[in-house]
Structures are given as C-alpha cells and as structure tokens.
Amino acid sequence: MMTNNQKLINWVNEWAQLCQPDKIHWCDGSEAEYKSLLDGMVAKGAAVKLNDSKRPNSYYFQSDPSDVARVENRTFICTTNKDDAGPNYNWIAPDEMKNTLRKLYNGCMKGRTLYVIPFSMGPLGSKISKIGVQITDSPYVVANMKIMTRMGKAVLDTLGNGDFIPCVHSVGFPLQPGQKDPSWPCAPIEQKYISHFPETREIWSYGSGYGGNALLGKKCLALRIASYMAKTEGWLAEHMLILGITNPKGVKKYFAAAFPSACGKTNLAMLIPTIPGWKVETVGDDIAWMKFGEDGRLYAINPESGFFGVAPYTSMQTNPNAMLSLKGNSIFTNTALTPDGDIWWEGIGYDAPEGTITWTNEKFDPASGKPAAHPNARFTTPASQCPVIDSAWEDPRGVPISAFLFGGRRPTTIPLVYEAFDWNHGTFIGSVIGSEVTAAAIGLKAGVRRDPFAMLPFTGYNMADYFRHWINIGKNAPDKSALPRIYCVNWFRKDENGKWLWPGYGDNIRVLKWIFERCEGTGKAVKTEIGYLPSTDSIDISGLEDKNINLSLLLSVNKEEWKQEIDLIREHYAQFGNRLPDELADQLNELGKRLY
C-alpha cells in the first residue's frame, strides 16, 4: 500500500470485492514495473518484443478484430436529466446504467490482477492539472497509461488525502480455473459500455481493451469529464493541439487549434516550416486544458505525457517529427509486423518486406487488397521523444495562448484563412466547423458533417450548453483585450477540376505567419462579410512560384456558396432547439444580413 488516503483505499477495496480479482497491484510507475508487465505479456503470447536494434524497448500488439477503435454507439453520458446530455450523445439514466454495469462487473476480474493506476493529467502540482485513479484488469492498459500520463507513486504523494476522479475499467473476460487467456481479451460488442457520470465525475468502462475506451485518462477524463468540470469551474478543456511559433527575431507565441479527424492535426502540431527563420515546436498534439492566469491571459497545458497517434500514412514525408518520436520506447497496436522484428503500415514510405504479418496475424499479400495495418492502427510514444517538443511543455503554469484556429476539410466555400470579428463571432465559427463528405462515405449523406469545435464525440454534456460556456468565457474574461484571437483555416480548398489549391504540410507556416503578424498588430487584412481575410500580398508565398498559387481564389468569398452555407447552418442549429444561445442565432442572422 502506497497511500494513507482512506477514501481511495475504501474505493479500491469496494471494487475488488465486486470484481473478485485474484490479487491487487498498486502501480508505482517505475521502469522496472513497466518492463515486467510488458515482458509478462510477451511470455504469455499477448505481445511481441520488437527488435532492439531496430526499435529498442518497443512492443507490438494485435487486438481482437471486434475491438479496434472508439465505439461511439456504446459510449454514454449518464446525467440525471436527459436534456443535459444533449442530442449529440447516447443517454441512459445514472442509476439504470450503474445497475446494468454492476451485474457485469460482478466477478469480472476472476483469474486476473486488479491494477490500481494513480495518474495525473498534466504536470504534477500544476493548478491546471487533475488527478485520477483507474482500476483495470489489463496490463496493456497499465503500460499505455505509463506513457500517456504521469503515473505512479509520485502521483499518490501529490494527492495526499485529496479528492481524485475515480475511473473503473475491465476487459470483461473473467477466467475460469485452468482456462487459457486469449491474447486480446474483451467482451462482445453488445456488452461494451464506456459510461460517463459527469455529475459525480466518474467513468465506468467495460468490455473493451482498446485506446480511448480503456485508457480512461484520454478522451473519457481529459475531455468528457473535464469539459463538464471546466463548465462548472470556469475554464476550458478542449480537443486542441498546442504549438509554439517563433519568428526570425526570436519572438514566440502559442496557438491552439481544433480540427476534426483526418484534417492534419498532428502534422500541424509538429510542422516543419518552409520559410527560413521560422520555428514551430510542439506542446501537445491532441488536448489542451486552459485557465486564466494572473495577467488575464489564457494559459494552456497538455494534460497528456505521450502521443497516441494513428500510424497509417505517417511517414518521413508527411510527418518526420512523429516518425523520429517513434524511434524506441513505444507501443504499437494493429500495425503490421516485419520478419526482422519491426513494424510497418500503409503510407510509411517504403514497401512491406517479404514475409510481413498483417494485424490479423496472416501473411501479407499486397494483391489481396486487404491492408497489412488496420486503418486505425496506433502508436503510443513518450512526448519527450519528439525532436521539436517545446521547452515549456511541462511548465506547470502552462503557456499563454495568442490565437485559436478552427478548421475542417472543405473543398469549396471556406477560404484558406480568415479572422473572426470578435469572441462571439469566433465562437460561432467554432460551432459550425465541419468536413464535407461524399455520398460514398458509409452511413452519411453527402454534405457537410458538422463537428463543432472538433468536440462532438467528446463533450460531456449538451453541445448547446458547451457553446454557452464558450460565450461565458468571453463575457467573464478578466481582461477581454487579452483573449486569444480566433481564426478559421482550410488547407483543403480545391479548384473546379478537383485539384488542391494549397500545398499544405510545411507550407501551412505561411498561414501561421499571417496569424502571428495579426496577433502582433502588423498583418494586413481586408474586412469581408465573413470576417477579416488576408490581403493577397500579406500571405508569404516566396519559394512557391513554381506551384502557381491562386491566392485570389483561395482568399475569395463566394456569396452564393455562403448563402447555401447559411441554410446548412440553420439545419445544424435546429437540433439544439431553444438551448442554442441567442448570441449564436444573432451571429447567423448578422451573417445573412451582410451577405444579402
């Protein structure tokens, strides 16, 4: 026992009594413990130790094919009042959900070890950080939580007798005496539950061993529960990367940016600038927690200590800094495995060696049409290994945010970049962000799939109330002049022939440079119906002469397309009924007046 916190001890004992594990292990977070757990899984056939000369101290896992990603249809927000969960979530009343789950948890850890994981989201001792404790019967989860959070004895020492966020997890696969444990134990899909109780700040997860369903510090705590806590306590918990950007004079600013999936978030967080003299460094690639500092500015921390990234199509061409972060001390899940003991995935930049094994443990046949790596295959790696990690990434005070960026995949309508008129207008922009989908997308009709603030699957309460919280942050800011400026960006604009208009990747520094200059008060802009757009001579395109960049089209406002956009936004807003803040309805009406 590493704690005198009686509330924590009682809580662990109550769950142990219900789950009936063979033994209890309090995690100390040491390297020896980490290695022992992983080597134990290798010995059981649940993991493969990769070739130390290729990928030192790294391990490979294949999940059960039924357990490969977040399961949104099995993710629940359990509030007393159904409307408080909102239209964006599955809802079950807290008492009903707990009754269902207690029956499943009864005896669920037989034949297994119950691990107690004390973890801190954010640097230990930061006023922005929070402490959680997760119990789990999965050593895979313990190993990943070791990378993704500050975990172990130091957390218990910091916690003392204080309160913690209780997180319960089981793979839902009890073992009978003599029964062989599968390499990836999990429950059938209909028995998977990822349940959040915002009002009591609890997370109960059952049946899945994968990613955000099982690493409860990640989306469950860092976004769903934290967003509810942020609303009640007056701060922000956001699905945002944080980057530091330094100009040639050595002046540094920090930006936070929210993008729906498949919009280049990690690439932007680790961007390699194509303009000489500019530097970008990474504070975080996924989540930002922000509170007002004594100077009235918003300060952000990355609550995580690792990257849990999508592997396929990450390469030395698309994101060299991510690839260099994976050089060792990493966990790979559902990638392919090469015969010389390394990993491989589609888009890595070279062909799979002969004899490569797929994520389903079959010999890879490129002619079969089946991918070698699952499209959602993941790497877990320490953030400290990133070659461009920011020197202040673990500063307990956080870093001051000068600008927020929102963006999605929009081939038409949305310009390369524009600036909001003010905070409420910026909140409006965030509330309507989305990506265009084609009719071929499974289960989705063609049009714009809205993902407000890139938080649709991650807000722990009604999305309309989340919009209200953003408006209140602006209204109650200690110094309104110190609030971050807000921008919309769109790297994905196409011409009438379907060709990309903007090169993207490292050239996105050219847009960041304009935003930087706007925050300094030097960047030139033109006021339009939708916001402040760069003048065509204020985006630095030096060195892109051979690419025939059409800035006048990239920075154009097509009024007819925007009138159609207004109709789509009205449809989007309708789902929130009378909970939609009047301020956002007013923003939409004002946009309409400017366009007509």
| Catalytic machinery residues | 263
Contacts of 213 (CB under 8 A, 6+ apart): 67, 70, 71, 75, 192, 194, 205
Contact call for residues 186 and 44 (beta carbons, < 8 A): no
Region of 416 on the Ramachandran plot (φ > 0 left; ψ -120 to 50 alpha; else beta) = alpha
**DSSP one-letter code for 69:** S
How far are the Cα atoms of 73, 136, 225, 527 from residue 171, in angstroms, in the given order? 18, 8, 21, 55
CA 239 to chain centre: 5
Contact call for residues 348 and 362 (beta carbons, < 8 A): no
How far are the Cα atoms of 117, 155, 311, 380, 551 from residue 30, in angstroms, in the given order? 12, 12, 27, 17, 53
Contact call for residues 375 and 308 (beta carbons, < 8 A): no
- Rounded CA-CA distance 33/371 in Å is 35
Among 192, 220, 224, residue whose Cα is nearest residue 208: 192
**DSSP one-letter code for 480:** G
Report CA torsion sign: 215, 221, 222, 227: positive
- Rounded CA-CA distance 356/195 in Å is 38
Report CA torsion sign: 522, 526, 531, 537: negative
CA 121 to chain centre: 14
Residue type at position 135: I
- Rounded CA-CA distance 198/218 in Å is 15
Report CA torsion sign: 123, 129, 131, 132: negative
- If DSSP codes are grouped into helix, strand and coil, which group holds residue 369? coil
- Rounded CA-CA distance 218/141 in Å is 12
How far are the Cα atoms of 6, 102, 110, 112, 204 from residue 19, in angstroms, in the given order? 20, 9, 7, 10, 13
Region of 351 on the Ramachandran plot (φ > 0 left; ψ -120 to 50 alpha; else beta) = beta
Contact call for residues 431 and 583 (beta carbons, < 8 A): no
